[in-house]
Structure 1
Amino acid sequence: MKKRYAHKEHSQMDEKLSKWSLFWRFPIIWMIVGAISIILVDAFIRPLAEQVPGLLSLLLTLTLGFLAIMVYMLTMKYLARRSIPELSRKGAGVEAVMGALTGVIFIALSAIIIVSLGGYSFQWANDADTVTVLIASVEAALGAAIVEELIFRGLMFQAMNKLLGNWAALAVTSLFFGIAHLGNTGATLWSAFAITLEAGVLLGAAFMWRRNLWFAMGLHFSWNALEGLLGIPVSGHTTAGLLIVKVHGPSLLTGGDFGLEGSMVPVIISLLITIPMLYGAVRNRNLPTNFT
């Protein structure tokens, strides 16, 4: 009788543990837990990095990136219970460099076109400390690229992919990425829509094509870093660059106070880059699949 009771009690405990495990494995749950954890790490370390100068600030930002990646990997391993091929160390450097080159081409081409249309003019910032500006631009771009890609293309995309499939995941993450920038300086409904297309869709397509986060992080990093170095506001955040940008003409061309990302020019260019990425993803059967 005691053995039967003990067996029944053990079975009930196993059932409770199983239900608890399934709860944590539900995509929305691990997405929220992972995102909040990364945001908390960012909220704790980023203010410290902003209060210290030079290389120490960059070191703290690198620490932020490392911890954010660790939080992501722990979330995926112990809550989502899945492997993490999107952060494989194999080929990580090559993918990051490829992404960075793509970002440089994208922003440089956008800026050149806006200049040729009379929207921007640049002059060298004579009082700029080159080393300080470089470190500040790299630091700001690196922190944003790692944290935002882990949350949007890492957690949210894959949670939505699990529930709704690839294309719905691309649409949802792109929309939320645009909404997330509505509170920035100079933001408008148009700028949020522009970010949805030129950043949300482009970075989502990059992830679907390359099937790793390193490429998306590299693209995101060089995009923001180059804007900062050129003295162009990064999604409404003004920074001291190596150049001083003077803005002329309508905001639809220049992006206004929001910066280059609010311009029609990068929206068009991003779509020209996105389409072959999505085509390559489909053709190579490299689309992310639902995880088990």
Structure 2
Amino acid sequence: MKKKMPENNEMLQNGRNLRARSSFWRFPIVWTIAGAIGIILIDTLFRQLSSRVEGTVSLVCTLVMGSLAILVYKLTLTYLARRSTPEISRQRAGMETVLGVLTGAIFISGSVFIIMALGGYSFQWASSADTSSVLISSLEAALGAAIVEELIFRGLMFQAIVQLGGRPLALAVTSLFFGVAHLGNPGATLWSAFAIVLEAGVLLGAAFLWRRNLWFTMGLHFAWNAIEGLLGIPVSGHPAAGLFTVKVNGAALLTGGDFGLEGSIVPVVVSLLISIPMLIGTARKRGDVARNLPVSK
């Protein structure tokens, strides 16, 4: 019996080491960073590939990149965080994406119309624009940003912080980080970053809490960027060669100035008018679950 004790001790020690390694990878900050690195690497690689091709092939590269990024997200949550991923379930994926696109289209179109009515924007058809090229480039840029940013911010970071400190903290922190992440964009200011905190960080976070679905937030984010690009409005400071040329008149607080629509006070107000009902709906659903009542969808 005494001769087996060292062997038993070694097995116990190996078991402790395995549990320690497992606990390390299951810590929310660790799997968030690991997943984000994987997604960013895939995005960077395919950006390089897309820059060497044009047209439909470039759009296909973006679609492949998105599929691989979603796969990395799923593997990270499944094998590191050790949890299921209903937020990217294929069930109702199409419906949730369409609802997100419609919500984003209403949000951006409404904001643009308000600014137009106040004399801030006027549009003229860009007759020299290559329609197919503009469509593909706008859709490609919008799709890539929507998938990558939503997987990282509302997928990984948001849910990690929920585990550490709850939903209100997750909404506040991810919104703040989302605004800070755009400070390096062309024409960015402290105001534009703060505006993005409210109009994008809070809106997309509220949308995720409301629908508990990344397809919805990706659809919303996609429509937002795509419509801006097609209208020729700078997308968070990045110039867009759209189907229209936009003439900007008035104060930057109204028009967003060189930063584009996101720097305007109008979408900030409109986004809050959309976010608040979403958050109220989320709170009501949680209350229904707590009281074991049927949850309306």
Task: Normalising by structure 2, report the TM-score.
Answer: 0.95
Shift of 1:50: 2.6
Q: CA RMSD in A?
A: 1.4
Distance in 2, matches of 1:149 and 1:133, equals 24
Name segments (4+ residues, structure 1) moved above 3 Å.
none
Counterpart residue number, 1:162: 163
**Per-residue CA shift, 1:99-143, capped at 9, x if unaligned?**
000000000000000011010000000011111111111100000
Which residue identity does 2:79 align to in structure 1? Y
Distance in 1, matches of 2:212 and 2:283, equals 12
2:252 is equivalent to residue 257 of structure 1:
no
Distance in 2, matches of 1:2 and 1:115, equals 86
Whether contact under 8 Å (1:230, 1:245) holds in the other structure is yes
Whether contact under 8 Å (1:208, 1:286) holds in the other structure is no
Whether contact under 8 Å (1:210, 1:286) holds in the other structure is no
Counterpart residue number, 1:277: 278
Q: How many residues align?
A: 289
Shift of 1:48: 1.7
Counterpart residue number, 2:150: 149
Counterpart residue number, 1:233: 234
Shift of 1:285: 1.5
Shift of 1:52: 1.2
Counterpart residue number, 2:192: 191
Whether contact under 8 Å (1:27, 1:159) holds in the other structure is yes
Shift of 1:286: 8.5
Counterpart residue number, 1:206: 207
Task: Normalising by structure 1, report the TM-score.
Answer: 0.97
Shift of 1:250: 0.6
**Per-residue CA shift, 1:144-192, capped at 9, x if unaligned?**
0000000000000001000010000000000000000000011000000
Which residue identity does 1:84 align to in structure 2? T
Q: Which consecutive residues of structure 2, in runs of 5 or more, have no partner in the other structure?
A: 289-297
Distance in 2, matches of 1:63 and 1:181, equals 25
Shift of 1:247: 0.5
Whether contact under 8 Å (1:73, 1:84) holds in the other structure is yes
Counterpart residue number, 1:245: 246
Counterpart residue number, 2:38: 37
Distance in 2, matches of 1:239 and 1:276, equals 32
Q: In the TM superposition, what are the counterparts of 1:77-92 in structure 2 within 5 Å?
A: 77-92=78-93
3-state secondary structure, aligned to 2:22: helix
Counterpart residue number, 1:46: 47
3-state secondary structure, aligned to 1:284: helix
Shift of 1:234: 0.4
3-state secondary structure, aligned to 1:183: coil
Q: Which consecutive residues of structure 1, in runs of 5 or more, have no partner in the other structure?
A: 288-292
2:177 is equivalent to residue 176 of structure 1:
yes
Q: Given the superposition, is the C-alpha separation of residues 286 and 77 from structure 1 closer, same or farther in structure 2, using an over 3 Å criterion?
A: farther
